Structure 1
């Protein structure tokens, strides 16, 4: 999917660093280049997600440099992306983030996929006081560490579960019992915890609430216990392969419920392709959907439609929230550098803290902890072979259906 783009590669410290730019800077003009560093999971368990970040940043970078670069403090700067594959190893992500800062002399960092690995990289960024943009980390536990240089474009998890619990109870009034089953990892765990609280607040009885270990390859025991509890709603969190396995085992065990939610399964094309008809009816929540229609935005794309057009032309598939959030994070970063008038790390950090802008992805305004402020986030459902938006009303294009 992302083979369209080619990078200059070199081998260093047993890792491959890829430098992407319109032209590599000479010593004479190195000051006229904004260098962005990114440890990415391009191999290993999170490779699908890491390649999404890589691909959309390359799309963004090509567009920036095709337009001549960015205007900063009265001069034009090219933008360069230096990235390493940390092979889905959290410790390695931290080591490579440090290498990007100390050896590659990047001006800013982009965080990898997921709250857990973002937290590791954030500690490095804080130690060296380098601004860090996180585009795929929504767990508040990442942002409660007192980090001053970390900023995230995803809104907090809690807003996703509250709206879903209220809406599902309204759409299916007979819903009384929910089973919550989550991966014991930062983001999936926080979503499972938030959902249990939101469900109780909405008047639902939580009849099952357990976590499964990272790397679990058989969910049958837990799913059998869920079946015995006869829930009206099954809510499972995890990453794509976890959820595909869980849904298949539900089918094998004859587990049925009017509502099956998998976070964030249907937000990813890999989920629906991996399950085929079994994905039909599965609901989820996400931070963005291309049905949104923002216009007059600041950044490479001034409308949601413009981003969608360029993305689908490049990749022949629809973008998901990972693509949109990460592209918007790059726009936010450039906006902060322009506001700072230089790549001075403290000035850029202060400009990020003061950010209040509209991107094609939506509004970005960071709270005191560095997270994007809460807003209405889409609830989606697989219907046939399509992803439909159930909420919010302004972009909804379908009514909720029960799982068949």
Structure 2
């Protein structure tokens, strides 16, 4: 393990070089005044696509902070350093590297990796060392009901998504009566599948199929055949990008003709639509954020959603998704807590996070008693042609829903 960690440490070079150059600049807030943020990231393995999004947007954020001369804390400038390691989509390794970041690298705060399952592992480590942890891509209530006092999440609970989606689809398709639910047996996808089945049942829909598939499943044809036999009006599948691409292809191969196909959170990612081409058309999803939202006068590195969008497109040439938005906002929230605390003292920062009630370019952040962001209206989106359209809520909608033909 020791040799592995030495090898992984090479991954911190780009962020650390920026921070080191910055240290020679403005006066420090105190003698050792550096805000040191640590993060275990899945840069290889099954969640590499998602982990690289976190890495990219945090580097964009760090560049912005550095260009502005650091963060203002107690009337003085404080540099920011970002240290991260590749945990290779291995949950156990994520926990080990979180501990290394705290004990060896001396980070003041932690950012959680992608997904509820790995966040839960890292949260246990953060709690043991009483180190504030902000999770930007973990929405399962099962992560936040463990009594953790140092864990805070910028995503709202899963149930907010499923209840609004059921209500919206019933309105748009009055004859909707049968739904099939097919979810990956992993913390976040399982939670979403469970929540949708419950929301559908509570709304009077008949859940004609409700099964989970194992992590690593490479063939969904048996499940898809069973779903076809049940003749649902709506198919709801959860999983990660490659799971959903495969599932959608096999639905087409086996002649599925359900008018509504929802995949969470496939269409939120460019690789989903790129990987499916025309087969992505009409697929719906739900997401926590879309750049069409128009928040202004916000705290943090960007003063509005439009400002963030402009910088992101200039850097990467494409649109940001909810992972980019939530994770950049999480960094802003951490800084706001340090500024409120007036130092990097972990207990003071934790208390400041618990009292947070701010507006970011991503939207409002108001942590509840369990550390989760309070529920708000979250967008329902649909692939239409080559574009992602917002169907709901009405305030930011830019298209009407279409049925799959």
Could you state the TM-score of these two structures normalised by the residue count of structure 2?
A: 0.95
Paired residues of 2:19 and 2:80 also in contact (CA < 8 A): no
Cα deviation, residue 11, structure 1:
7.9
Q: Which runs of 5+ in 1 are unaligned?
A: 1-9
Query: How many Å separate the matches in 1 of 2:193 and 2:45?
Result: 25
Residue of structure 1 equivalent to 2:249: 248
**Within the alignment, does 1:259 sit opposite 2:260 as a pair?**
yes
Residue of structure 1 equivalent to 2:141: 140
Paired residues of 2:19 and 2:82 also in contact (CA < 8 A): no
Residue of structure 1 equivalent to 2:98: 97
Query: How many Å separate the matches in 2 of 1:308 and 1:200?
Result: 38
**Within the alignment, does 1:40 sit opposite 2:34 as a pair?**
no
Cα deviation, residue 202, structure 1:
1.7
Query: How many Å separate the matches in 2 of 1:401 and 1:267?
Result: 18
Query: How many Å separate the matches in 1 of 2:53 and 2:208?
Result: 36
- Please list the CA deviations of residues 346-397 of structure 1 after superposition, one character each: whole Å capped at 9, or x if unmatched: 0000000000000000000000000000000000000000000000000001
**Within the alignment, does 1:123 sit opposite 2:124 as a pair?**
yes
**Within the alignment, does 1:13 sit opposite 2:6 as a pair?**
yes
Q: What SS does the corresponding residue of 1:15 show, helix, strand or coil?
A: helix
Residue of structure 2 equivalent to 1:50: 51
Query: How many Å separate the matches in 2 of 1:60 and 1:325?
Result: 12
Alignment of 1:334-345 (within 5 A): 334-345=335-346
Query: How many Å separate the matches in 2 of 1:31 and 1:365?
Result: 30
- Please list the CA deviations of residues 91-112 of structure 1 after superposition, one character each: whole Å capped at 9, or x if unmatched: 0000000000000000000000
Query: How many Å separate the matches in 2 of 1:198 and 1:123?
Result: 30
Query: How many Å separate the matches in 2 of 1:390 and 1:342?
Result: 43
TM-aligned CA distance change 1:193 to 1:84, over 3 Å:
same
- Please list the CA deviations of residues 240-295 of structure 1 after superposition, one character each: whole Å capped at 9, or x if unmatched: 00000000000111111000000000000010000000000000000000110000
Residue of structure 1 equivalent to 2:75: 74
Paired residues of 2:113 and 2:135 also in contact (CA < 8 A): yes
Paired residues of 2:390 and 2:396 also in contact (CA < 8 A): yes
**Within the alignment, does 1:348 sit opposite 2:311 as a pair?**
no
Paired residues of 2:180 and 2:209 also in contact (CA < 8 A): yes
Query: How many Å separate the matches in 1 of 2:35 and 2:291?
Result: 29
Query: How many Å separate the matches in 1 of 2:203 and 2:400?
Result: 20
**Within the alignment, does 1:212 sit opposite 2:213 as a pair?**
yes
Residue of structure 1 equivalent to 2:333: 332
Query: How many Å separate the matches in 1 of 2:32 and 2:199?
Result: 50
Query: How many Å separate the matches in 2 of 1:215 and 1:138?
Result: 22
Query: How many Å separate the matches in 2 of 1:184 and 1:23?
Result: 40
* CA RMSD between the two structures: 1.4
Query: How many Å separate the matches in 1 of 2:255 and 2:310?
Result: 42
Richer in helix (by share): 2
Q: Which runs of 5+ in 2 are unaligned?
A: none
Query: How many Å separate the matches in 2 of 1:349 and 1:139?
Result: 21
Residue of structure 1 equivalent to 2:115: 114
Residue of structure 2 equivalent to 1:4: none
Residue of structure 2 equivalent to 1:310: 311
Cα deviation, residue 32, structure 1:
2.0
How many residue pairs match? The answer is: 394
Query: How many Å separate the matches in 1 of 2:253 and 2:107?
Result: 50
